[in-house]
Amino acid sequence: MLRLASLSLLSLISAQSLTLYTGDQTASTATSTASAAEGTYTGLAAYDPTVLTPPTPPETPVTSYTLTLPSNGQAVLDQGLSLSIAQKGNFLGFSVELSIANSLMGSSSTNMKVPFLNYMANIQNRAGVGPVIRVGGNSQEGSTIFTGGLEDGAVLDKIKVSSGVTDTPLINYSLELFYLMGNITSLVGADWYFGLSFNESAVDSPTGNVPIAAKWAQDILGEHLLALSVGNEPDLYVDHSKRESGWGVSNYVTEFDTMTQSILADNNLIDTTAFIGPSTCCQVEGFELDDVFNAGWLTSNVDNLAAVSVQHYPTNNCKINGNVIDPQAIFSDFLNHTSAQAQVSPYLTNSQTVLGVQKEFIMLETNTASCGGFAGLSDSFGVALWMADYALQMAWGNFTTALMHVGGQNVYYNPFTPPPSTEAATKQWTTGSIYYSTLVIAEAFGKSNQSKVVDISPSTDQDANNIYHPIYAVYENDAPTRVVMFNYIDDSTGANDLQTTINVGTATSSVSVRYLRASSVSEQYNITWAGQTLGTSFASDGRLYGEQSTVTIQCTDGNCVIPVYAPSIALVFLTEDALSNSTPSADATTEYETSIVGTGSATVDKQALETSNGQSSSKNGGTSKGNSSSGAISRITNVSTTTIGLVLAFTGGLLSLVM
């Protein structure tokens, strides 16, 4: 495991080009998280060190497999398989709960969290497009915008916080939130979904609050606002006492109409193809996506919809009626290809319907389990494999985007979590295993925006252990360019390593491979993507550390034998172009501000963490943001990338560089 001690950091820095560091690295070394006995940990879920027992490997290993790779799209069809629509490298993105948007992204438009920017820049550098981020969730429903700013000058205030995982606070937010999002876009190219409050009394309130929020979101974010989400999991409104019993699909359709018409009234919006819904989630009888479609919702709203959304968790940790699920008992459910298929197949007819009206189909919120996920499961390496499989399966099923939910410190499933505010001065961020899945997906699709994917997994007659060995192939310009191969089996002895032979044609003498690896599916933190890691708990600044490792495999007569270790993902690049189209470019550093926080550049100033976690009641007390920072961010662009010892500081709320 990489320790962020000064020496190794300096050697890493000199190997890469840049940069910005915090001076005292000793404070950020890893804390031991190894193997606390179950039950002894009483801290916050996001840092829970619980490790599950991996499933035993199959008794009879399968050690070799020959992949027949169709040479073009027609050959894919001829094998009885289907290629997806063209996908982008930012397919797998993030859904940020509104109530924690400030603790994750920044306390103002001039005080952004550098680790967050780094996590996002890693995607942009691989995908060629910025990440897709949704801000919303349960907490959007009780939200109110104050265009004159909040009394404390904040991005948002939580009015009521209760202890339950999905109990939602009321939120007051200000324009500063949109400016913060806009500034994140200017650095890392993010595109946004934003959740409005679905509340008729808020529409009819004297201020007409929801239409005001919609207008400002569009005005400030412009083309980077993908859509405004109207209604979050309306199929659960009755259950969650947000509507009277008996409220159903027809009421929903009427309210959706009232809400969107009030937003569109008086030419309030510049872009009227503005909305996304219905975000149904939970297979509630009579309130599924099909029921919403059958009620005429899609047809009557098609002109004002940017996309159609659903939300989905395979299981839950809600402990409904005392029904407690034991994570150990369900761990193996996440460790084979059947799960990814089972999550996606119910949506295959829907995705065709949505494509048929030329709209995008979005998984607006997903993760391992609702109500916070599970200790040892949601943060395991095995689930990082699962999330990549599930994402590729959604991409194959013609979803256009899938967003992993990020909650607070009381959940297990976060892709990244800031340190608790009481410890911010000494600790850094914690990377969740599923963050690595976004890197795999970004590189599997690369920068062309033209990647079509096919699930080409083995069948039982060719591989008795086939459920553990899913395979996807990516096609660009009608030719295969990358292959993603999984091995879900936990077997460090090597007995279950799979040697997969791919025939690439004699014109190719070698292929390149990058691996997602850990020693066990139970591992939480010692995970590498192409040899690089984001480290253990409380140790990440959002950058990848270590030498990037790309393995070259020599092929004989066009046959390339790729080891797929148990457990791992092997991403095979069939051409040099495919490899370079997935690789962060070395000169990205001179072109954009993003380069400064991307490609292993910036790290966080401890003082910035301290002040931006809201301990010191702060800073720029102003209301809606003025212009105090405009020059500061762009100044970073001009920094020479060879100097070691810059400190990216946020003193006084201003982003500034201190030599």
Q: Which residues bind ligand NAG (CB under 6 A)?
A: 1, 82, 84-85, 109, 128-129, 141-142, 146, 150-151, 159, 170, 172, 179, 182-183, 186, 199, 201-202, 205, 242, 332-333, 336, 338-339, 342, 348, 351-352, 355, 397-398, 447-449, 519, 526, 625-627, 629-630, 633
Q: Shortest approach of ligand NAG to residue 255 CB, angstroms?
A: 11
431 touches 540 (CB < 8 A): yes
Backbone angles phi, psi at 357, to 5 degrees: -105, 25
In the complex, least distance from residue 306 CB atom to ligand NAG, rounded to whole angstroms: 13
Distance in Å, CB of 506 to ligand NAG, minimum: 30
Structure tokens at 119: 């996590």
Rounded Cα distance between 2 and 25, Å, is: 13
Closest CB 68 distance from ligand NAG, rounded Å: 20
14 or 352: whose CB is closer to ligand NAG?
Answer: 352
Residue 396: C-alpha distances to residues 82, 473, 533 (Å): 8, 10, 28
Report DSSP letters for 23-89, one per residue. S-GGGGSPPP-TTPPTT---S-GGG----PPPPPPPSS---EEEE---SSHHHHHHTT------B-T
Least gap, CB of 110 to ligand NAG (angstroms): 6
- For residue 260, which amino acid is it? T
Element of type H or E holding 279:
strand 275-280
- The C-alpha atoms of residue 456 and residue 571 are separated, in whole angstroms, by 14
Supply the minimum distance, in Å, between the C-beta of residue 577 and ligand NAG.
12
Contacts of 273 (CB under 8 A, 6+ apart): 303, 304, 305, 306
190 or 502: whose CB is closer to ligand NAG?
A: 190
- 559 class by beta-carbon count within 10 Å (0-12 exposed, 13-18 middle, 19+ buried): middle
The answer to whether 377 and 331 have CB atoms below 8 angstroms apart is yes
C-alpha angle 623-626-630 in degrees, rounded to nearest 5:
140
Strand, helix or coil for residue 473 = strand
> Measured from the CB of residue 559, what is the shortest distance to ligand NAG in angstroms?
29
In this structure, what DSSP letter does residue 304 have? G
Q: How far is the CB of 1 from ligand NAG (least distance, A)?
A: 3
Nearer to ligand NAG, 39 or 356 (CB): 356
Q: How far is the CB of 242 from ligand NAG (least distance, A)?
A: 5
Residue 280: how many CA atoms within 13 Å on its side-chain side? Answer: 22
Say how many Å lie between the first and final Cα of the chain, rounded.
Answer: 31
CB 339 within 8 A of CB 392: no
Report the nearest approach of ligand NAG to the CB of residue 197 (Å).
6
**Tokens representing 137?**
């969730």
Question: Alpha-carbon distance 528 to 535, whole Å?
Answer: 9
**Chain residue at closest Cβ approach to ligand NAG:** 625
